[in-house]
Amino acid sequence: MSAKIIDGRHISEQLIEEMAQEVKERMAQGYKQPGLAVVLVGDDPASAIYVRNKIRSAEKAGMLSIVKRLDESCSQQALDDVVSELNERDDVHGILVQLPLPKHLSEERIINLIKPSKDVDGFHPMNAGLLSLGQATLIPCTPLGCLELLKREMGDISGKHAVVIGRSNIVGKPMARLLLLANCTVTVVHSKSVDPAKLCQQADILVAAVGVPELVTRDWVKSGAVVIDVGINAIEQEGKRKLVGDVNFNDVVDKCQAITPVPGGVGPMTIACLIKNTLIAATLSDN
């Protein structure tokens, strides 16, 4: 058996095109152009690339894009002031502060400062709480992107046994909750789990989101499973820098029904779902 490679880039482009049409239609009806503001602190090259990709996707979808740049040495108060100003702007429907922040700045404080209605990352405690109750409208982008890939690949996933490796607040926990809401049977595997490989072998759907390069090998994977690899890890291989996932792709690819590559799998979907959340936030602001 040879697995289908799930093309996250292609699917994300489809989503952006769909949202561009929605934006065009809502503006034709007299509604405001959806606006996404991204705050970038410092000049980390990886963060700069992420921000550029997010802004490019917002513009492809016909949205207003705003970038606020601050020096790496900026004070907490200066960052707070920028976020507070964006909270009050009528032309900004979504606010994203690019993480990680420099160590002297509090990520928790900034996440809590963003208005829940503009929290397009879905990290605010109010949005996290609503998700736990099955009532959230702004859901963390990476889990949302994973769910979109699963539904497009598998259709109805009700009744499937899903195993999530990792329990972070950003991916693992919200992913498990979304799968529960989709009527899966869900197991969460973490650093204290006994015999994690045996637990993963039971999965119809395996989502790896733990940040350990190529942790998942073929003896962890059930024959015919769908594997979603969230990990993005930089390693040195034959003297070159290479990006790999949490799954050993070459080792498991012939055992799966379908699998996401790294890069080109979940990453583009995360950005597409950020744009989707911005559109949702804009729509809610109309009501």
232 is in an annotated binding site: yes
**Residue 88 to residue 204: CA distance in whole angstroms:** 45
Q: Is 168 annotated as a binding residue?
A: yes
Task: Label each residue of the chain as H, E or C.
Answer: CCCEECCHHHHHHHHHHHHHHHHHHHHHCCCCCCEEEEEEECCCHHHHHHHHHHHHHHHHCCCEEEEEEECCCCCHHHHHHHHHHHHHCCCCCEEEECCCCCCCCCHHHHHHHCCHHHECCCCCHHHHHHHHCCCCCCCCHHHHHHHHHHHHHHCCCCCCEEEEECCCCCCHHHHHHHHHHCCCEEEEECCCCCCHHHHHCCCCEEEECCCCCCCECHHHCCCCCEEEECCCEEEEECCEEEEECCECHHHHCCCCCEECCCCCCHHHHHHHHHHHHHHHHHHHHHC
Residue 261 makes CB contacts below 8 A (sequence gap 6+) with: 5, 6, 8, 229, 245, 249
**130-164: b (≥16 Cβ within 10 Å) or e:** bbeeeebebbbbbbbbbbbbbeebeeebeebbbbb
167 annotated to bind ligand: yes
Query: Has 177 been labeled as part of a binding site?
Result: no
| Active site (catalytic) residues | 54, 98, 121
Asked if residues 190 and 233 have their Cβ atoms less than 8 Å apart, the reply is no
Known binding residues for NADP(+): 166-168, 232
